[in-house]
Amino acid sequence: QPVVAVVGRPNVGKSTLVNRIIGRRQAVVEDVPGVTRDRVPYDAQWNGRAFTVVDTGGWEPDAKDRAAAIAAQAETAVVTADVVLFVVDAMVGSTDVDEAAVKMLRRSAKPVILVANKADNNSIEMEATSLWSLGLGEPFPVSALHGRGSGDLLDAILAALPEAPAIVENRPRGPRRVALVGRPNVGKSSLLNRFSGEERAVVDSVAGTTVDPVDSLVEIGGQTWQLVDTAGLRKRVGKASGTEYYASLRTAGAIEAAEVAVVLLDSSEPISEQDQRILSMVTESGRALVIAFNKWDLVDADRRYYLDKEIDRELRRIPWAIRLNLSAMTGRAVDKLAPALNKALASWETRVPTAHLNQWLTALVQATPHPVRGGRAPRILFATQAGVAPPRFVLFTTGPLDAGYQRFVERKLREEFGYEGSPIEISVRPRK
Ligand code: GDP
């Protein structure tokens, strides 16, 4: 169960806030300066999520060793916590003790929610905006006593919590589903033939799995894969017989049915509009993607030079796709296909713990904040990963983000966590 630590000076109302969060009157002793309480955990729930709140008691800012006491208290609380609620008295504003604590919290890199407590009315709530100066992002004005603002605060806590205990993704444990797609003549059948051998490795049924009749189980790199719509690859539909419309429907269907797509391109020819359409189908579907440049045996130094330029130009939207240069004819690099598929699928199913994600994000937005627009810069408060296959993220912000800044976050997210071979989706949820 995730842990939320409540940290703050004595008398800022931590106990009242804990009472408010756990939603019942419990004998939580009010902070008394100079008296250290044991850290007491309480069970809390909000919107069906359970978490533990740890009331860390008061600091002992005894004049002599004040900084050390603060450091020790903040650190123990924070080490075990997934999220820290840093409580400040909105009527008093920030004090030097608060500022010292902020330094410790920053160093911990845990997600911190700044709570401006005792914001019992609008005018104190307005005052609370001065707490921006603490550098912890937007203060959440709350009246723990009267309940004002506590719903928003609880929403923010949930958003910052780690994912609910991993719901085991119960994907049927059969072979992974692959779509082998590409325009006519790029070499799909030739590549398929390489894997299946003389149909040797193609099995039509495996105990416990059901395979669509148009699919085949094919061995690639010592592993069994379910190649979707192999019927369409095997039957050499005469080039003239199938309309492009029909071929494109079939391609879309195969991609939808698959988890990862291999888009075959013909390296000896320019990347065409049809190639681009097929690539777009994959990226729009959210499937993992491996691009295989087939007929690499036909690529000489000259062609290579132009091809590199073309790739930079034509594939710049999908720099994350895994690329392979292979030849279905000679067998070159064909053994790289299975590792590439596995890599892409692993990226596709990557889940980053919320605490880790937010540690990284805090550092990122500190180093490169959102540019100021019209006197204000929206801030990213937290992020959570909402799902996998592909990885989906939600950014909780104080306002809409610039498209450019969002792309920057995506690029940095990829730099940090990889996702090679997988699209990722980011959505922004501005508060209120
Ligand atoms: P499909 O329509 O995508 O299934 O393409 P095919 O597998 O039928 O291949 C089309 C043509 O390209 C055939 O003449 C193949 O022999 C040829 N071809 C396929 N792969 C390669 C390759 O890696 N190198 C060369 N040079 N030719 C290839």
What's the one-letter identity of residue 121? N
What's the one-letter identity of residue 257? A
Topology agreement, domain 3-160 and domain 354-430: no
Report how far ligand 1's centroid is from the alpha carbon of 186 (Å): 6
- Pocket perturbation via mutation, ligand 1, pick of 190, 196, 275, 299 by most ligand atoms within 8 A of CB: 190
Superfamily name with CATH number, domain 176-348: P-loop containing nucleotide triphosphate hydrolases (3.40.50.300)
Instruction: Give residues (CB < 6 A) around ligand 1.
Output: 182, 184-190, 294-295, 297-298, 327-329
- State the fold for domain 3-160: Rossmann fold (3.40.50)
Report how far ligand 1's centroid is from the alpha carbon of 192 (Å): 11
Residue nearest (by alpha carbon) to ligand 1 atom 27: 295
Residue nearest (by alpha carbon) to ligand 1 atom 2: 185
Write a three-state SS string for 172-239: CCCCEEEEEECCCCCCHHHHHHHHHCCCCCCECCCCCCCCCCCCEEEEECCEEEEECCHHHHHCCCCC
What is the number of the ligand 1 atom nearest to the C-alpha of 193? 7
Q: 216 and 222 in contact (C-beta within 8 Å)?
A: no
Q: Which of 290, 286, 252, 284 is nearest to 389 (CA)?
A: 286
Report how far ligand 1's centroid is from the alpha carbon of 277 (Å): 20
What's the one-letter identity of residue 254? A
Q: 380 and 373 in contact (C-beta within 8 Å)?
A: no
Paired sense of beta strands 260-266 and 322-325, if any: unpaired
185 is in an annotated binding site: yes
Question: What's the pLDDT score for residue 10?
Answer: 80
Question: What's the pLDDT score for residue 348?
Answer: 96
Domain ranges of the chain: 3-160, 176-348, 354-430
Q: Which residues of 349-379 are buried (b: 16+ CB within 10 A; e: fewer)?
A: bbebebbebbebbbebbeeeebeeeeeebbb
Residue nearest (by alpha carbon) to ligand 1 atom 18: 187
* β-bridge mates for residue 54, sequence order: 5, 41
Residue nearest (by alpha carbon) to ligand 1 atom 17: 187
List average pLDDT for each run of 10 residues in the chain, which is 432 residues long.
86 87 64 52 81 71 55 66 92 86 80 94 86 87 91 90 55 82 92 65 44 77 88 58 70 92 96 94 96 96 92 93 96 96 95 84 92 87 86 89 94 94 92 62
In degrees and rounded to multiples of 5, residue 351 shows phi and psi of -120, 125
Classify residue 340 by burial, with Cβ atoms within 10 Å: 0-12, 13-18, 19+.
Answer: buried
- 354-430 is classed in which CATH architecture? 2-Layer Sandwich (3.30)
Question: What's the pLDDT score for residue 65?
Answer: 60
Q: So what's the ipTM on this one?
A: 0.95
